[in-house]
Amino acid sequence: MIVAANWKMNPGLSEAKKLASDYCTAAHKGVTRILFVPHPYIVPIRKRLQGSDILLGGQDCHQMQSGAHTGDVSAGMLQNCGASIVLLGHSERRAYYGETSELVAAKATMAFETGLSVMICVGETLAQRNSGDALATVLQQLTISVPVTLPTTALTIAYEPVWAIGTGKVATVAEITEMHTGIRHWLYSAGFGRTKILYGGSVNPRNAAEIFTVAHVDGALVGGASLISADFDGICAAAVA
Ligand code: PEP
């Protein structure tokens, strides 16, 4: 199982250092923990994670190796600073920065060629779900966002229904089952037999155990609850229960 924390643009540096240290005090055998931090925190948080088995990741990277891209961060910079994985195609980046699946694929290719693993997010909006297009939307995002050249173990997929992110609404077991089964079939047919699929969207210590019983759920991508170390620990504990 994988439990990944997405801190987004939170919290302040001193709180972030304490949170990372708190993560390290708990051991969760059998769970791979990943921490996606804001870019300026990669170095200070790497120091806090030293000696732990928690992997460190960036929340985005540019599709080019270097150049005139003010404000952007390259995959190589993330790697130089201690990240081993990057989160790509999060719905907030797709919605607020107009990131297309084609761009996500270009970023994923650059990240992999640089030596990073990638976690690619996919998920439907409420309108797409209500019109019966949820699965088709997600399969199309996968088809375009995932470069076929990526090795299966360098890729993780996070299924995050957009309407469940930060809203307290969680997809039902039936909805998660349908989607994760569809994604699993797609992955197999595309040659990604060993790629893991995480669920994300308002996961917390109270709902995690049920979500982890669903077929083809290999863990969770956690936003809000990852900012409270006891909640993050509770989700990790549910992953091995
Ligand atoms: C996310 O942003 O990836 C996420 C899953 O957020 P939350 O857990 O807060 O819904």
The CATH number covering residue 220 comes to 3.20.20.70
- What tokens does 148 get? 């076929």
Element spanning 140, H or E: helix 134-145
What is the DSSP secondary structure assignment for residue 154, as one 8-state letter? Answer: G
pLDDT along the chain (241 residues), means of 10: 98 98 95 98 97 97 98 98 98 98 98 98 98 98 97 97 97 98 98 97 98 98 98 97 80
* Bond into 147 cis (ω within 30): no
**pLDDT score at 241:** 80
CA dihedral of residues 129, 86, 210, 27 (deg, nearest 10): -170
**Tens digit of pLDDT for each residue in 120-143?**
999 999 999 999 999 999 999 999
Provide the pLDDT for residue 19.
98
CA dist 173 and 14 (Å) reads: 38
The verdict on whether 28 is a catalytic residue reads no
Rounded distance from Cα 223 to ligand 1 centre (Å): 3
Query: Distance (Å, rounded) from C-alpha 222 to C-alpha 4?
Result: 6
- Residue 101 to residue 89: CA distance in whole angstroms: 7
Other beta carbons within 10 angstroms of residue 6's beta carbon come to 26
Q: What's this model's pTM, rounded to 2 decimal places?
A: 0.98
Tens digit of each residue's pLDDT (9 = 90 or more) over 169-178: 999 999 999 9
Nearest CA to ligand 1 atom 2: 223
Q: Which helix (H) or strand (E) holds 2?
A: strand 2-6
Residue with tokens 């891209």: 69
Count the domains in the chain: 1
Q: What is the best residue among 165, 170, 226, 231 to mutate for testing ligand 1's pocket, by most ligand atoms within 8 Å of CB? A: 165
34 beta partners = 4, 55
Q: Smallest Cα–Cα separation from 8: which of 91, 124, 72, 126?
A: 91
Q: Domain of residue 134: give its range.
A: 2-239
Dig out the tokens for 50 from the structure. Answer: 């030293």
Question: What's the pLDDT score for residue 96?
Answer: 97
Q: What is the pLDDT of residue 112?
A: 98
Q: What is the pLDDT of residue 61?
A: 98
Best residue among 202, 204, 227, 228 to mutate for probing ligand 1, ranked by most atoms within 8 Å of CB? 202
Residues touching ligand 1 (Cβ under 6 Å) are 6, 160, 165-166, 200-203, 221-225
CA-158 nearest atom, ligand 1: 3
Residue 160 CA: distances (Å) to CA of 73, 157, 165, 217, 221 = 24, 9, 7, 12, 8
